[in-house]
Amino acid sequence: MRNQYSDQFKWQVVQQYLYGKVGLKETAHHFGLDYSMVRRWVEQCRQHGPSGLRQTRRHYSPAFKREVLERRWRDGLSIRQTEILFDIRAAGAIGRWERQYHSGGLTALEPKRTGRRPMPQKPPSPPPEPPTDGERSHEELLEELAYLRAENAYLKKLDA
């Protein structure tokens, strides 16, 4: 998911809500946003200050993901509360981690490789079997016979 809103715009929306005279839904409507997005930005800003509005590109280890999920389940936190607590800014990440964990355990939380898959390694093919005399043409047999006769004559000449 690509972040389409600048940090300045988010800060402006949060400031409008915090210091304005209207509620969350009215602020969201004024800026043409969903109120849940505005609520997320406000909570991120309250928890982490203005830097909480910045988009980050972070990769989380499977151990960290498990820690987040266990804390959510143990304390009965909502996804939004868990995102704020652990400063996870990727919307939907925790729900995705839960689905992965329930479907495949801890190994399902491992990062997936992106890009092209490597070509499968083919086992080395055995050398081709020489064709039997019945499979070779008359001309091939005559060529081999001529070669063997010449080789035999050469070897006889060396012995003499």
Q: Is this prediction's pTM over 0.75? A: no
Tens digits of residue pLDDT in 91-115: 788 888 999 888 888 778 777 777 7
d(CA 67, CA 71): 6
* 22 alpha carbon, distance to own chain's centre: 42
Q: Spell 48-65 as b/e; 16+ CB within 10 A means b.
A: eeeebbeeeeeebebeeb
Tens digits of residue pLDDT in 34-83: 888 888 888 878 877 777 777 766 778 888 898 999 999 999 988 888 88
